[in-house]
Amino acid sequence: MVRLPRFVPLAAALVGVALILAGCDNPATPSAPQPSKATALGATVPTAKGDGEHGHKPTAHGGIVVPIGSDSYHAEAVFEKGGILRLYTLGQNEATVLEVEAQPLTGYVKAEGGMESESFVLAPKPQSGDKAGMTSLFVGHLPKDVAGKKVEVTIPSIRIGNERFRLAFRSVSDAGEHGMPSKVADDDERKLYLTPGGKYTEADIKANGGVVASVKFKGLKAEHDLKPKAGEKICPVTLTKANPKFSWVVGGQTYEFCCPPCVDEFVALAKEKPDEIKPPEEYRQK
């Protein structure tokens, strides 16, 4: 048997101690956690940032910027009088217009601090320069009972490319100094519905009972069906399934809508741009 010199085990022990000490001086660096894909549908949604931060700063149309997909994209939400909401889609650079697939968006809105939400539809409204089948603007009408109030809006799904994203944001109350929220004035509503113009005639006003839409449809609840079947009537404004409860006579013909705010927009269009009004039979799902 070969005998090792006595100093060999001692040297090996000293080397082991040196390695241990070296390991203490240079601990292994833990691998950095991989960030999750925020705001994709079903993933974590970032909390909206406060005023003055990136999430809600003023932009081109005087609205608020909302991040989409952890700042991969953005949207500008613009609240207008009468409960109109415009949503502009923007790129990662907020100064860049982003075209997305033209698609109706279902939104849910509630008064800030409220418990119950109401649904509404944002319809694609392509801007000048948008390609066919694409849009960079969506327009919708908030329910009348929350128009002009401070609200919370959630859009569960918007499709951008091959992905779907969720976004949520709050409005800034447009209440006056006495705390009363602004709304479409009764005089403005009466002027819209009770004065003729363009394709909207005196005979139409009589056929509709000589009342405004908010009176005629008071108490009726709107439900939006985003997938009408072939041949079914569709709302001329949102192109969702029409509801015969929300019908209005324009140009001597009866049109059906998905909700009262769409009647507002259609009557205004009939008065201001009558050439854009099609016969009722053309508003059917193909």
The residues of the chain that CATH labels 2.60.40 are 54-170
pLDDT-derived band at 60 (thresholds 50, 70, 90) equals low
Fold of 54-170: Immunoglobulin-like (2.60.40)
The predicted-structure confidence for 74-107, as pLDDT tens digits, reads as follows 999 999 888 999 999 999 888 889 999 999 999 9
What is the percent of the chain where pLDDT is above 70? 74
Q: Which residue has the higher pLDDT, 207 or 146?
A: 207
Alpha helices for the chain (secondary structure H): 7-25, 186-194, 202-207, 213-216, 260-272
The predicted-structure confidence for 99-128, as pLDDT tens digits, reads as follows 999 999 999 999 988 888 999 999 999 999
Quote the CA–CA distance of 26 and 29 in Å, as a whole number.
Answer: 8
In terms of C-beta density within 10 A (0-12 exposed, 13-18 middle, 19 or more buried), how is residue 63 classed?
buried
**C-beta separation of 96 from 88 below 8 A:** no
Instruction: State mean pLDDT over 224-236.
Output: 89
Global pTM exceeds 0.75: no
Q: Does the structure show a pLDDT above 70 at 34? A: no
Instruction: State mean pLDDT over 6-14.
Output: 44
Instruction: State mean pLDDT over 175-195.
Output: 62
